């Protein structure tokens, strides 16, 4: 996350703010430019501003329908808002999604196809006890809004034996599947390289997941996989690697913007904060990994001293770093043919 300031009084404002807490200026966020003065600039705010507190500017892109922002335009299904709590759950997911979309813009990820916005997000609530299966299919990302409830998420995390479960984590993981379809699958060379590194994603998916949930991951899986779930299927390995790369890029961007890098790992970042994320795609992977490890060691200890769970409960072995670096190169090359 970048560090943002009020365009009027320069006080610090947070990514989710719609008003400056120091001077009261009404703010809108524009992914490429940061915070702007809603009234002074005469900008249209996103239609979802009053409803879910979306603080983005309405999307002025050619062909954009209605008054939604770039992020809200990617949502195609919302839950039944007459059910108590659903509005709040959906709003929390959208807040996390705005950070995903912010990164997608700064990393130049493709956000449209011939049919319009892509990926598309379907926010669903469990209905009459029927579960919502989270997942991705052809650009459609389905999310269970019950995950926005702390109790539900904590219980599921314990049940699945996961060290980390967050809304942004779900969004990043599922976006990995969606972008794989656009950035890897259509390019024969990339697809071959992906299969060589992650395995063949044509392996039967249903059987692989059944096996994963029936048996523990093979001993020593940490050497080659960033998470236990990544061992389930090559498709999941890619999505977990993608999600972790986005965690690391966002984490380093934040640390750089706040001057938090540990001594010896300062990294010579560009002066314009909005260039940092993209710049991180091009630095030596060993520098990126060692900076992240140094930062997470410090923050794991800091969290421990305040009794919070581990800041980053994953291990970056050389093989895992190689996978993350491959994802990084895919993002850097984008849709350009090799
Ligand atoms: Zn202000
Ligand atoms: Zn919006
Ligand atoms: Zn997945």
CA of 21 to the centre of ligand 1 (A): 7
Q: Measure 195 CA to ligand 3 centroid, in angstroms.
A: 16
Give 335's pLDDT tier (boundaries 50, 70, 90): confident
Structural element, H or E, at residue 75: strand 75-77
- Cα of 148 vs centre of ligand 1, distance in Å, is 30
Beta strand 34-37 with 27-30: parallel, antiparallel or unpaired?
antiparallel
Collapsing DSSP to helix, strand or coil, 154 comes out as helix
Ligand positioned closest to the Cα atom of 56: 2
User: For residue range 282-308, what is the model confidence (pLDDT) as tens digits?
Assistant: 999 999 999 999 999 999 999 999 999
pLDDT at 217 over 70: yes
Q: Show me where the domains of the chain are located.
A: 1-67, 71-182, 184-338
Contact assessment for residue 256 and residue 276, using Cβ atoms and an 8 Å cutoff: yes
Q: Which ligand is nearest to the CA of 52?
A: 2
Between the alpha carbon of residue 317 and those of residues 224, 244, 289, the distances in Å are 7, 13, 10
Which ligand minimizes its atom distance to the CA of 25?
Answer: 1
Ligand 1 centre and the CA of 48: distance in Å? 23
Tokens of 217: 């991951």
Q: What whole-number distance in Å separates Cα of residue 98 and Cα of residue 54? A: 9
What is the Å distance from ligand 1's center to 301 Cα? Answer: 34
Among the bound ligands, name the one nearest to the CA of residue 74: 2
Question: From ligand 1's centre to the CA of 10, what distance in Å?
Answer: 6
pLDDT, tens digit, for every residue of 101-135? 999 999 999 999 888 999 999 999 988 778 899 99
The ligand with the least distance to the CA atom of 134 is: 3
| Tens-digit pLDDT profile for residues 173-208 | 999 999 999 999 999 999 999 999 999 999 999 999
Quick one: average pLDDT of 92-102?
98
Tokens of 206: 């249903």
Tally DSSP H helices, then E strands, for the chain: 10, 10
Which residues, other chains included, contact 137 with Cβ-Cβ below 8 Å and sequence gap of 6+?
none
Nearest bound ligand to CA 243?
Answer: 3
What's phi and psi for 235, nearest 5 deg? -60, -40
For 233-283, what is each residue's pLDDT tens digit?
999 999 999 999 999 999 999 999 999 999 999 999 999 999 999 999 999
Ligand nearest to the CA of 8: 1
Provide mean pLDDT across the span 217-242.
97
CA of 17 to the centre of ligand 1 (A): 11
Please tell me the distance between residue 196's alpha carbon and the centre of ligand 2 in angstroms: 40
Average confidence (pLDDT) over 74-99: 97
Residue 209 CA to residue 75 CA, distance in Å, equals 28
How much is the pLDDT for 70?
A: 96
For residue 216, the model assigns a pLDDT of: 87
**Separation of 100 CA from ligand 2 center, angstroms?**
13
d(CA 179, CA 182): 5
pLDDT at 63: 57
**What is the 8-class DSSP label of residue 218?**
P
Q: How far apart, in whole angstroms, are the C-alpha atoms of residue 284 and residue 302?
A: 27
Contact in structure between 109 and 179 (CB atoms under 8 Å): yes
Which helix (H) or strand (E) covers residue 133, if one does? none
Q: Directed axis angle between helix 285-305 and helix 234-257, to 10°?
A: 80
pLDDT(337) > 70: no
Q: How close is the Cα of 75 to the center of ligand 2, in Å?
A: 10
pLDDT per residue as tens digits for the range 20-64: 999 999 999 999 889 999 999 898 999 999 999 999 999 877 555
**Close Cβ partners of 184 (under 8 Å, ≥ 6 residues apart):** 190, 191, 194, 238, 330
Q: What residues sit around ligand 2, an ion, with C-beta below 5 angstroms? A: 46, 48, 54, 56, 69, 72
């Amino acid at each position: 996350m970048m560090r943002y300031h009020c365009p009027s009084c320069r006080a610090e404002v947070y990514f989710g703010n719609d008003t400056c807490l120091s001077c009261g200026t009404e703010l809108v966020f524009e992914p490429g430019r940061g915070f702007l003065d809603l009234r002074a600039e005469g900008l249209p705010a996103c239609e979802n501003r009053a409803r879910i507190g979306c603080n983005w500017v309405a999307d002025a892109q050619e062909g954009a329908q209605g008054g939604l922002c770039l992020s809200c335009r990617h949502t195609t299904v919302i839950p039944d808002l007459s059910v108590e709590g659903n509005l709040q759950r959906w709003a929390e997911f959208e807040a996390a999604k705005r950070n995903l979309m912010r990164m997608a813009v700064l990393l130049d990820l493709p956000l449209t196809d011939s049919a319009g916005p892509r990926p598309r997000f379907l926010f669903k609530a469990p209905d009459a006890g029927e579960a919502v299966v989270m997942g991705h299919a052809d650009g459609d990302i389905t999310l269970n809004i019950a995950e926005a409830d702390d109790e539900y998420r904590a219980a599921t995390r314990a049940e699945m034996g996961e060290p980390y479960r967050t809304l942004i984590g779900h969004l990043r993981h599922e976006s990995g599947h969606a972008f794989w379809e656009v950035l890897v699958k259509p390019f024969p060379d990339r697809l071959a390289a992906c299969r060589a590194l992650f395995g063949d994603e044509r392996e039967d998916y249903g059987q692989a997941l059944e096996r994963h949930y029936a048996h523990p991951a093979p001993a020593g899986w940490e050497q080659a996989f960033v998470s236990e779930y990544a061992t389930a299927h090559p498709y999941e390995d890619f999505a977990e690697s993608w999600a972790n790369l986005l965690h690391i890029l966002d984490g380093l961007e934040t640390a750089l913007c706040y001057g938090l890098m540990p001594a010896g790992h300062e990294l010579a970042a560009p002066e314009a904060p909005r260039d940092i994320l993209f710049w991180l795609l091009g630095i030596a992977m060993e520098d990126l990994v060692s900076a992240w490890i140094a930062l997470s060691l410090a923050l794991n200890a800091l969290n421990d001293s305040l009794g919070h769970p581990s800041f980053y409960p994953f291990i970056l072995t050389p093989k895992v770093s190689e996978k993350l670096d491959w994802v990084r190169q895919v993002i850097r090359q984008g849709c350009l043919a090799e």
